[in-house]
């Protein structure tokens, strides 16, 4: 336990009232220092985070188009309507496919890359930088480049595939393919981040574990399965949780890639946030859009809890008899 300054018994065993009074005055001054110091942060926190979060939940029970001053309370009507809203259900499906597609594929690929690179210091430094270039590039230019790569008429991808005798494909124009194409782009963008995270984790695993395992005759896949994976679990957990949450909030690539005649058909890649944006800021159905935001919040919460629970369960089962 770390000793905290203000927590120390003030004045020791002294019984002198003046001393203890001075000490408690000092204690009060310290409290004041802490509360005053935290005040700006707490105020910002309440105004910028807590209040909007509660307003989301509150708004979701109202029917409001932003123009009219009256806001009729409708209870759970917005939520009930969501269950019958085809576009919302489609967005939910697309977002789920997108999130699991990108997160799982990125994690698997980057884990393989990181394992290949770990222990090769020089090579690793070079590849980390190269694989990180898409990570530092913001989403809008990335989406623009990939939209051009996916172009059915003059795109680079169709050109490369033509060497293998594959006919030109409308990557963004076929509904299911469009979602897949955006997934591939997002894997490309996130690969380097995941890879570096896993490399950091791998570096922390002591060489001795592998040496001991080698003596016991375990190497290759076995040592990966029984040493690397369990010891990497905290980082895998962190990466999975954060990237799943990010993936469920995907908006920018969808927004960029659905614009224009060469873009993806809107509904094919419609995601939760995109649907919410349209309902809220194109049709001004603020209450309805807020209900969607609340659903999004719920999904994020459930996912976080599930992933933590899942990994914890794995942990105990692997340590069992």
Partner 1 sequence: MRSTATRGDVILRHRRAVFSPGGIAVQVILAAGALTMVLPFIWMLSTSFKPPAEVISWPPRFIPLHPTVKNYVDAMKAAPFFRFFINSFLVSGISTLSILLTSSFSGFLFAKYRFPGRDIIFIAILATAMVPFQSYMIPFYLFMRDLGWLSTYQGLVAPLLIMSFGIFFMRQNILSIPDELMDAARIDGCSEFGIYTKIILPLSKAALSALSIFAFRNAWSDFIWPLLITNDINLYTMELGLGMFQHRFTVDYGCITAGSVISVAPILVVFAVFRRNIIEGITLTGLKG
Q: Does 127 bind partner 1 (CB under 8 A)?
A: yes
Give the footprint of partner 1 on residues 133-192 (CB under 8 A). Answer: 133-142, 144-146, 148-149, 151, 153-154, 156, 159, 162, 188, 191-192
Q: Which of 14, 24, 55, 176 binds partner 1 (CB under 8 A)?
A: 55
- Return d(Cα 32, Cα 52) in angstroms, integer: 28
With CA atoms as reference, report the closest residue to 293 among 65, 123, 91.
Answer: 91
Give the footprint of partner 1 on residues 76-105 (CB under 8 A). Answer: none
Shortest distance in whole angstroms from residue 320 CB to partner 1:
28
Q: Which of 14, 24, 50, 166 binds partner 1 (CB under 8 A)?
A: 50
Q: Taking a C-beta distance cutoff of 8 angstroms, is the pair 262, 147 a contact?
A: yes
Q: Which is nearer to partner 1, 98 or 127 (CB)?
A: 127
State whether residue 186 is helix, strand or coil.
helix
DSSP state of 245: H
Q: Which of 22, 25, 51, 225 binds partner 1 (CB under 8 A)?
A: 51
Q: Does 25 bind partner 1 (CB under 8 A)?
A: no
Q: Which is nearer to partner 1, 3 or 15 (CB)?
A: 3
Largest interatomic CA distance in the chain: 94
Reading the block at residue 230, the tokens are 């369990």
Q: Name the strand (E) or helix (H) holding 60.
A: none
Reading the block at residue 121, the tokens are 């210091």
Shortest distance in whole angstroms from residue 47 CB to partner 1:
8
Q: Which is nearer to partner 1, 178 or 319 (CB)?
A: 178
Q: Name the strand (E) or helix (H) holding 309.
A: helix 286-319
Shortest distance in whole angstroms from residue 215 CB to partner 1:
5
Q: Which is nearer to partner 1, 21 or 43 (CB)?
A: 43
Q: Taking a C-beta distance cutoff of 8 angstroms, is the pair 285, 66 a contact?
A: no
Q: Does 132 bind partner 1 (CB under 8 A)?
A: yes
**Binding segment (CB under 8 A) for partner 1, from list 29-37, 94-102, 174-182, 312-320:** 29-37
Q: How far apart are the first and last CA of the chain?
A: 32
Shortest distance in whole angstroms from residue 38 CB to partner 1:
5
- Return d(Cα 26, Cα 34) in angstroms, integer: 12
């Amino acid at each position: 336990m770390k000793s905290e300054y203000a927590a120390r018994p003030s004045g020791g065993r002294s019984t002198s009232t003046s001393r203890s009074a001075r000490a408690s005055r000092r204690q009060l001054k310290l409290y004041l220092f802490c509360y005053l110091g935290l005040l700006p942060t707490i105020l910002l926190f309440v105004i910028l985070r807590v209040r909007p979060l509660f307003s989301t939940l509150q708004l979701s029970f109202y029917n409001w188009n932003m123009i009219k001053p009256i806001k009729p309370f409708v209870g759970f009507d917005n939520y009930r309507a969501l269950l019958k809203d085809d576009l919302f259900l489609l967005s939910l499906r697309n977002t789920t496919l997108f999130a699991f597609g990108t997160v799982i594929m990125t994690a698997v690929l980057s884990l393989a890359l990181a394992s290949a690179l770990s222990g090769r210091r020089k090579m690793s430094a070079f590849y980390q930088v190269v694989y990180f270039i898409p990570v530092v590039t913001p989403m809008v230019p990335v989406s623009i480049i990939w939209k051009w790569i996916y172009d059915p008429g003059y795109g680079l991808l169709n050109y490369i595939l033509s060497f293998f005798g594959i006919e030109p494909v409308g990557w963004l124009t076929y509904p299911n393919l469009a979602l897949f194409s955006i997934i591939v782009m997002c894997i490309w963008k996130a690969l380097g981040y995941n890879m570096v995270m896993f490399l950091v984790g791998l570096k922390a695993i002591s060489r001795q574990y592998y040496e001991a395992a080698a003596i016991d005759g375990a190497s290759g896949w076995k040592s990966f399965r029984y040493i690397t994976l369990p010891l990497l679990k905290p980082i895998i957990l962190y990466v999975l949780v954060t990237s799943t949450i990010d993936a469920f909030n995907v908006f920018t690539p969808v927004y960029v890639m659905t614009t224009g005649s060469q873009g993806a058909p809107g509904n094919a890649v419609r995601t939760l946030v995109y649907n919410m944006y349209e309902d809220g800021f194109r049709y001004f159905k603020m209450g309805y859009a807020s209900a969607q935001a609340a659903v999004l919040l719920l999904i994020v919460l459930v996912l976080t809890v599930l992933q933590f629970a899942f990994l914890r369960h794995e942990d105990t089962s692997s340590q069992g008899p």
